Amino acid sequence: MGRKNPERRQQAGAVHEPVRVNQEDKGYKDTPLRALTLGQKYFLRTLSNSDVTICTGPPGTGKTHIACGMAAQAMRHGDVEKIVLCRPVGGMEKEIGYLPGGIRDKLGPYLVPLFDELSCYMTYEFIKHLMDVGRLEIVPLAALQGRTFKDSFVVLDEAQNASYSDLKMFFTRFGEGSTVVASGDIRQKVDHVANEGSLSSVIDRLYDLEGVGICHLTHDDVVRHELTAEIDQRL
């Protein structure tokens, strides 16, 4: 797979300003994507320079916000044709199976955080339009088997809750013209998921692979309320 075009690479700390390039521009908001900390600047640079990016960090460091912002701007610039959002559902498969409706209805509540961040850069009406025409897709992580995403920006959130086999499958699902980003907090443990250490293992195996960027955010990069970092460190 080809590497990122060097001419399109952004410098660390650069402001990613929206560019109007297509007729659907009315669906995009004039919200620049700015790095607020040194760690976020490195995350943006890593995303711009890598085909695959893995970002870890505590809550409130902007992992999901930056990933969704880059996805929105990649589509706005015409770099990708589709945005794919996914999250591990862990031991919730049975619960999801009983929910009414199709996959969008079943998984919608679990992907609200991704939609919230995406809505910083797109209107809700435009998000719905993209889903209706198949350019924004909700995919459960476990259902990626056999899929290949080309010219897509693929976002995996809460990657620490995925099993090693699911992560291996995720990182081998994309084709030419795609950008992949997985984010998570390797310190978090969900009671119903027995996958602690899977994301760390993947990072250990991929850290020196060309085309893969690794970014570790810290409590210094927390951009929520100032108490968020303090609470997270004490609990």
Asked whether the beta carbons of 137 and 131 are under 8 A apart, the reply is yes
pLDDT on residue 1: 43
Q: Which CATH class is domain 34-234?
A: alpha beta
* Residue 56: predicted pLDDT: 97
Q: Virtual CA dihedral for 129, 148, 162, 42, nearest 10 degrees?
A: -80
pLDDT at 104: 52
Between the CA of residue 105 and those of 70, 110, 128, what are the distances in Å?
Answer: 25, 10, 13
Which of 48-52, 63-67, 141-145, 197-201 is predicted least confidently? 141-145
* pLDDT for res 97: 47
CA 128 remoteness from chain centre:
19
**Token pair in block for residue 190:** 């969900």
Minimum mean pLDDT range among 175-189, 201-215, 218-232:
218-232
Mean pLDDT for the chain overall: 82
Please give the pLDDT value at position 112.
Answer: 78
What value does the mean pLDDT take over residues 71-84?
Answer: 95
Angstrom distance (rounded) from CA 233 to CA 41: 23
- Mean pLDDT of all residues in 191-214: 84
Alpha-carbon span 86 to 149, nearest angstrom: 13
pLDDT at residue 220, rounded to an integer: 92
Considering only residues 174 and 15, tell me which one the structure prediction assigns the higher pLDDT: 174
Q: pLDDT value at position 196?
A: 62
User: CB-based contacts of 77: which residues, under 8 Å, 6+ apart?
Assistant: 19, 21
